A and B are shown apart, each in its own frame.
Chain A
Amino acid sequence: MELLPQALVDGIMLGAIYIAIAIAFSLVFGVLHVIDFAVGEWIMLGAFAGFYLNLWAKIDPFLTLPIVFVVFCGVGYLLQPVIQRVLSGHKGNPLLMALVFTFGLGMIFRGTAQTFFGFYSHSIPSHFSNGSFFFEKGAFFLTISSVRLAGLIYAGLITLILNYLLKYTDFGLAVRALAQNKEAAGLMGVNNRRTNKVLYALYTGITAMTGVLIGIIISVNTKMGAEYSIFAFFVVVLAGMGYLAGVPAAALLLGIIQSMFLVYLDPGWTLLAVFGILYLILVVSPTGLFGKGWV
């Protein structure tokens, strides 16, 4: 029982990382209907960008986040029309083609990264990595790592900013309109192409920044992407495909389940339990935790 506060807090911290990975991924799916299987590779590329910026500029990686965001927004903005072309094809199944396209893109990113960055793992040092907060009362104790706390704040900020953008700006109105009905949105004057490009740019920028964060908290290597692609997909499915508001709850649930299994049950069963619970929830509610996702 004395481990419960620690297990819960660690689960929330873990969940915060999953929020940061999945939130923009879910947004892109909701509007563009692209399951971007390159999400993990965007994280990996962002992490390497943060690593090399830190190495060359000798500044704290948290300060490099805006640079990484801008650079990857640019890359995403330029890449989106290519994905759009695949999506707007009339032969075969464009959604399936887009899925295969992003999967291939991810493989190209990984292979190229292995060629240029090598196979070794790296770490991005930060001043935030060095501290922690420790509380103890009777048998209960709680350690909160400052860098993971920074991760939680980052995930919270990203969620709030996206929420603001979607609910209180013209861009957000256009995005919501596109998500509801593309044709009707177009007739109402929404510039489909430009909105999609900006949206995809936001997604790549946020995901790459998350990569820097993961590089600070965990580590950086060219193989890291696959694991995060799986978790991003897990969170989005659990939240309900395309239902953005469900992402934080789904991500936190995933983190807490993992933490509880690691602490109280057999750690060897953690991933099996996580996916077992996902299947169970989908059997009961195929549209995700809140019943608001796509079927």
Chain B
Amino acid sequence: MSITRSAIFASLVTAVAAGALQAQEFKIGVVVELSGDTATGGNVAKRGYDLWAMAVNEGGGIQIGKKKYPVKLFYGDAQSNPSQGAAAAERLITQEHVDLMFGPYTSSVANAVGPVVEKYKIPMINGSAESPKVWEPKFKFVFGSIPPVNFTGAACIDTLAHLTPAPKTAVVFGSNDTFSSSTANAFNSSLLKAGIKVLKFNIVPEGQDLTPLLSAMKGLRPDIICFAGHDEELINLVKDLHQIDYTPKALLMHYGVTEPAFAEALKGDANQVFGGAVWTETTKTASKILWKDSQAYAAASLKAFKVAADYTQGGCSAAGIAFQVALQKINAVPPLSEAKRTELVKALEAVDVETFYGRIKFATEGEFFHANAGISSLTIQIQNGVVKSVGPAKVAEAQVLYPMTPWAQR
């Protein structure tokens, strides 16, 4: 009998001790699209969050005072569906009792998750979502490491507008989702500002075969074709253009050009396609936290996943660094109380740090409240299968290849 009692007591002590030990780590909820239509990007985001957590834990955890606290990521699959994303966030907060949250890949899901984290007062950093609509509600607890796509779109159009011979006409198509329609609108307004005539502007259903639309567009002979969509939609559009044998002077697409899969799927046809980004593996940065520069991060990514990193993945890892810096600043020890989480929001607003990704400095006022205002947008171009920065001029690492070589001559 006494042996049984001792065993029960020992088990209880072990369980309590294990519970106490468990509490000594930062629990971070991550809602991303692990399945469904946008699973490709969702998994890119996941790689970014995972790489940060791996790097932090390899070093023993986040240093708070004299002690290090590991981080543990709890994933919720949004299934590429905003309502599922909101449900996953609710589950992570109420059942897993996460201290912090990382945001989804798509703006649509981020928009659905935002109100949930705001309700429970859980600080969340979106490492990927770019639509300006993410910032419209001005949530107190929501931050973002990538600037709104308005800036990215404007930077790309500015680069194209200054090319010789100057493009005079353009068509703009955008897929019908929150991010893509915002991107298409950004392209459209920037083209108008640059004095380039927009011959056609259409928001099209996701996944639609666009050949009839493109064939009709061929008669307009636009100098620039701008397209906003996701991974396979970009691949399909390039294939469609090749099939109808129309090569514009410039083809600008966002998001997905920087994903290695784009160049891999299209081979030679991917060359000379323009895209937008805020970071590439060769962006000049210097940091004292986790990775010393872009190249070091890119090497770590390649080692961990055998896949080259793009700016979405980088943005997700940078989101982790922002949390890390803010937690250290307020000496936050897990688990975080509501008061501490509110204090963390203030600390995040004060973050101003150089990372491998560039500067992280969240806007504390204005239209894009809590978006990262520390980094600038880049125009990139695929050259020989490699992503190269070609604009703005001060950060360009390669000459722009323009006009595009006709498909038949590649």
Measured CB to CB, the closest approach of chain A to B176, in angstroms, equals 6
B223 partner residues in chain A, CB cutoff 8 A: none
The answer to whether A147 touches B213 (Cβ under 8 A) is: no
| Given A121-B40, A262-B210, A270-B205, A114:B243 Cβ within 8 A | no
The answer to whether B216 touches A219 (Cβ under 8 A) is: no
Q: Which of B57-65, B228-236, B333-341 contacts A (4 or more CB under 8 A)?
A: B228-236
| Given A267-B205, A267-B208, A268-B204, A120:B40 Cβ within 8 A | yes
Measured CB to CB, the closest approach of chain B to A276, in angstroms, equals 14
The CA-CA distance from A268 to B201 in the complex, in Å, is 11
Candidates A2, A3, A123, A221; contact of B239 at CB < 8 Å? A123
The answer to whether A123 touches B245 (Cβ under 8 A) is: no
| Given A148-B211, A268-B203, A134:B35 Cβ within 8 A | no
B219 partner residues in chain A, CB cutoff 8 A: 2-3, 6, 141
Measured CB to CB, the closest approach of chain A to B216, in angstroms, equals 5
Measured CB to CB, the closest approach of chain B to A80, in angstroms, equals 29
A221 partner residues in chain B, CB cutoff 8 A: 40, 231-232
Q: Mark B270-290, 1 if CB is under 8 A from A, else 0.
A: 000000000000000000000
Candidates B212, B239, B408; contact of A262 at CB < 8 Å? B212
A114 partner residues in chain B, CB cutoff 8 A: 35, 39
B265 partner residues in chain A, CB cutoff 8 A: 120-123, 219
The answer to whether B211 touches A10 (Cβ under 8 A) is: yes
A14 partner residues in chain B, CB cutoff 8 A: 209, 211-212
| Given A121-B231, A132-B243, A219-B236, A10:B212 Cβ within 8 A | yes
The CA-CA distance from A119 to B42 in the complex, in Å, is 9
| Given A2-B219, A145-B243, A270:B208 Cβ within 8 A | yes
Candidates B208, B212, B231; contact of A7 at CB < 8 Å? B212
The CA-CA distance from A11 to B202 in the complex, in Å, is 19
A268 partner residues in chain B, CB cutoff 8 A: 176, 202-205
A125 at the interface (CB under 8 A from B): yes
Measured CB to CB, the closest approach of chain B to A262, in angstroms, equals 4
The CA-CA distance from A148 to B212 in the complex, in Å, is 12
Closest B residue to A140 by CB, please name it. B219
The CA-CA distance from A49 to B296 in the complex, in Å, is 37
Q: Mark A199-242, 1 if CB is under 8 A from B, else 0.
A: 00000000000000000011101011001000000000000000
B244 at the interface (CB under 8 A from A): yes
Closest A residue to B256 by CB, please name it. A121
The answer to whether B212 touches A143 (Cβ under 8 A) is: no
A145 partner residues in chain B, CB cutoff 8 A: 211, 243-245
Measured CB to CB, the closest approach of chain B to A194, in angstroms, equals 38
The CA-CA distance from A271 to B209 in the complex, in Å, is 11
Q: Mark A93-125, 1 if CB is under 8 A from B, else 0.
A: 000000000000000000100100001111101
The answer to whether A259 touches B231 (Cβ under 8 A) is: no
A6 partner residues in chain B, CB cutoff 8 A: 212, 215-216, 219
| Given A123-B239, A125-B267, A267-B204, A143:B245 Cβ within 8 A | yes
Where chain B touches its partner, the secondary structure class is helix
Measured CB to CB, the closest approach of chain A to B380, in angstroms, equals 19
B242 at the interface (CB under 8 A from A): yes
B210 partner residues in chain A, CB cutoff 8 A: 262, 267
A218 partner residues in chain B, CB cutoff 8 A: 209, 236, 239
Q: Of residues 382 to 398 in B, which have CB atoms within 8 Å of A's CB atoms?
A: none
Measured CB to CB, the closest approach of chain A to B19, in angstroms, equals 34
Q: Mark B30-46, 1 if CB is under 8 A from A, else 0.
A: 00000111011011000
Q: Mark A1-27, 1 if CB is under 8 A from B, else 0.
A: 011001100110110010000000000
B259 partner residues in chain A, CB cutoff 8 A: 120
The CA-CA distance from A11 to B213 in the complex, in Å, is 11
Chain A: interface size category:
35 or more
The CA-CA distance from A134 to B202 in the complex, in Å, is 25
Q: Mark B176-205, 1 if CB is under 8 A from A, else 0.
A: 100000000000000000000000001111
The CA-CA distance from A120 to B307 in the complex, in Å, is 12
A147 partner residues in chain B, CB cutoff 8 A: 243
Q: Of residues 136 to 171 in A, which have CB atoms within 8 Å of B's CB atoms?
A: 141, 143, 145-148
The CA-CA distance from A227 to B235 in the complex, in Å, is 17
Measured CB to CB, the closest approach of chain B to A220, in angstroms, equals 9
A130 at the interface (CB under 8 A from B): yes
The CA-CA distance from A146 to B39 in the complex, in Å, is 32
B137 at the interface (CB under 8 A from A): no
The answer to whether A259 touches B212 (Cβ under 8 A) is: yes
The answer to whether A134 touches B243 (Cβ under 8 A) is: no
The answer to whether B231 touches A120 (Cβ under 8 A) is: yes
Closest B residue to A141 by CB, please name it. B219
The answer to whether A7 touches B216 (Cβ under 8 A) is: yes
Closest A residue to B44 by CB, please name it. A119
A191 partner residues in chain B, CB cutoff 8 A: none
Candidates B39, B176, B232, B245; contact of A134 at CB < 8 Å? B245
B138 at the interface (CB under 8 A from A): no
Please give me the 6 A-B residue pairs with the lowest Cβ-Cβ distance, nearest first: A145-B243, A121-B232, A120-B261, A10-B212, A259-B212, A119-B40
- Known pairs A123-B265, A270-B205 / 13 extra A-B pairs, C-beta < 8 Å: A6-B212, A10-B215, A119-B43, A130-B242, A130-B408, A143-B218, A143-B246, A219-B236, A219-B265, A221-B232, A258-B212, A262-B213, A267-B210
Which A residues lie at the B interface, using CB under 8 A? 2-3, 6-7, 10-11, 13-14, 17, 111, 114, 119-123, 125, 129-132, 134, 141, 143, 145-148, 217-219, 221, 223-224, 227, 258-259, 262-263, 266-268, 270-271
Please list 20 pairs of residues, one from A and one from B, whose beta carbons are closer than 8 Å in the complex, sorted by A's number.
A7-B216, A13-B211, A14-B212, A17-B209, A119-B43, A121-B40, A121-B231, A132-B245, A148-B211, A148-B243, A217-B243, A219-B232, A219-B235, A219-B265, A221-B231, A223-B36, A227-B207, A263-B216, A268-B202, A271-B205
